[in-house]
Amino acid sequence: MTLTYRHINDAPTPSGLTSRAKQGLLELQYDDHGAFELPFEFLRVYSPSAEVLGHGPGQEVLQTGKRQVQIVAIEPVGHYAIKPIFSDNHDTGIFSWSYLWWLCQNKDALWQRYLERLQEQSGSRDPS
């Protein structure tokens, strides 16, 4: 199964965001949909930045060594997104509400795909 992000016009806006550094999780609360937890590592490897996605299909760059990555700050981007600042100095991913909702809905399949890609390319989640 191929999962490709498509903008979701009616994606809900989170009613709350909680960064839980000790657990390495970003919790998103939605009034009508409950709460979702996205690990920092997951957010880092699925950052919607050119560094991760490239500049077009087939140019994605597998992110390795991100198991210990933290989010050190979160900046709002207008009323439509956030920009997490990661401990590895990655700060170019702008996570729209639509993209975050898509990540919440597809987390398990995306994580499995990431682990498969790591295995195929002999990559590691651990820093070298």
Secondary structure of residue 2 in the 3-state scheme: coil
Instruction: Determine which of 5-9, 24-28, 52-56, 75-79 has the lowest per-residue pLDDT on average.
Output: 5-9
Q: Does residue 85 carry a pLDDT above 60? A: yes
Q: Does residue 2 carry a pLDDT above 80? A: no
Higher pLDDT, 27 or 128: 27
- Distance CA(34)–CA(96), nearest Å, equals 19
CATH of 16-120 given 3.30.1330.80, 3.30.2020.30, 3.40.50.1390, 3.40.50.720:
3.30.2020.30
The pLDDT of residue 12: 96
